[in-house]
Chains A and B, each alone.
Chain A
Amino acid sequence: MGISDAFLNEQMYIIAIISIILFIVSCAGLAVFITFRILKKYIDFGDVVCSIHQYSNNGIKYTVNRDNVLLCEKNDYMLVHGDNPYENIQRSIPDQLLKNAEKTGDNL
């Protein structure tokens, strides 16, 4: 047996191992996914939550809508928008919430 034959055999051996692993993984993938779909259908109820359209007629009014920004721009960007626009607004608070605050010592 020549060197190239041995090399070929070794390559075939590796290819065979990889094929078997891939083959088992794909079978497991199909089995796991179908099992998940069965559980989802027969076991898990009401896992749907409302979207924004249920509670807002106009949806979001975007002030910034930028694609393809850089990862390093993130912190600057968050900092620019980091001020609370509602900071000094005072609102009237219902009695029940005030009563609960008294119990817990929450000074709001």
Chain B
Amino acid sequence: MAVLCSNCSGRLIFNPATQQLECAACGSKFYPEDVQDINADVHSKYYDTRVYTCAHCGAEVITSDTEVSTFCVYCGNPSINFTRISKECRPDGIVPFQITKEQAVESVKKKFLKNPIIPKEVKAKAVPENFRGIYVPYWVINARFSETDYLSGMVKNDKRDEKRYYQRAGTCSFANVPIDGSSILNDEVSMKLEPFIFNGAKDFDEDYLNGFYSNTSDMTYTGLRESAANRCHKLFADEALTTIPGKKQKLEDSIYWIDIQDDPLYMMMPVWFFTFNYKDKPYTILVNGQTGKVVGTMPWEEKRIYGIGWSLFILFLAVLGTGFVCIALNYALLSGLFNYIITVVIALGTALLVPGIVGINKIVKNLRLTQSDAIFKFVKKRQA
């Protein structure tokens, strides 16, 4: 619950810049460890929280702040209501916010500067009112991991590409792997927020939550094991793929097992959520509240992108067309070199078509992931 200032009974808010609790009324500052909430029992396994529920998407957020936001931090809808006071399990530790709201806004704005593709309407929405600080629950695990992979790659053999197969099996000891403990946040997104630096972690104290939202882990041990195994598998397989020669390396098949060591740590990690609507779709850009890393794909000005694409196409058509005509008419005394250049450009252009299409598809996929209904699985689940 909210801790009040000992000098004036004003509301205390944690300020990431000073790493202190500051009184909104009299400006007094306190270190979280020095402030004692008379209602709180630090030795208890539980702590009291106020749970708010969004009437639109059903998301639950926890806050000790009585002046809760007027819109849902997940789906952006202005329909959030206080539902209950709840006792939640006390996390083992917390990584306090290091990045202030202003710094988070600046980090996002930096990406906007001199960026002609992001719509002006979206740029205008990068204001502090659209940023919310949330402590996201994570499980930090140590694990022994075994995996067996069957891989393939294309290797040159007598100037021809030949598919070759490889086997890799091994074990790996993982330490301090953060696993997103909330089924709400998409694992693919939370993974991109890493790394979190655990040297900056503190013992959990609910005073750090003042002024921020938080969430509790709704994961079971089975779910944790599954998420941890998938996370470690990705790390293992990505590394194994680097050990095989050739190009177009591919993981053909794999089996893997995990042994999570005793008592994974229950931690709260700081994340800034920048939520906005564009063309009736909600988007969420995340900022790591410790490192300032910005994660997300911005919507783009479609007309401008099509314009760039078509302009480039016409430009290359004109340049290469002129080259062709020169060759056809046997112009230019440098015809040998000229032919060579044109041939290389044509070969290059043809070879780049597939990577270009694959790359754009990936960006479109990332853009869909930035749309809130993909980031937050519960939205779809609860609306169904």
Contact = CB atoms under 8 A, between A and B. Distances in A.
Contact of A46 (B175, B296, B305): B296
Interface string A6-38: 000000000000010011111111111111111
Given A31-B312, A95-B89, A63 B171 contact: yes
B98 interface: no
B360 A32 contact: yes
A55 B176 contact: yes
Given A25-B349, A58-B173, A86-B144, A64 B168 contact: yes
Contacts, number: 261
Interface in A58-108: 58-71, 73-74, 77-78, 81-82, 84-86, 89, 91-101, 103-104, 106, 108
A32 B357 contact: yes
B14 interface: no
Contact of A62 (B89, B169, B345): B169
Nearest to B260: A91
Interface string B345-384: 1111111110111011001001100000000000000000
Interface of B: 45, 89, 111, 115-118, 144, 146, 148, 150, 164-177, 191-195, 216-224, 234-236, 238-240, 243-245, 252-253, 255, 257-264, 266, 285-286, 293-298, 300, 305, 308-310, 312-313, 315-317, 320-321, 324, 345-353, 355-357, 359-360, 363, 366-367
Interface of A: 19, 22-40, 42-52, 54-71, 73-74, 77-78, 81-82, 84-86, 89, 91-101, 103-104, 106, 108
Given A46-B294, A55-B174, A57-B173, 5 more contacts: A32-B309, A49-B191, A56-B172, A58-B173, A100-B218
11 contacts: A25-B350, A29-B353, A38-B308, A45-B111, A45-B297, A51-B238, A56-B174, A56-B235, A69-B150, A77-B150, A94-B264
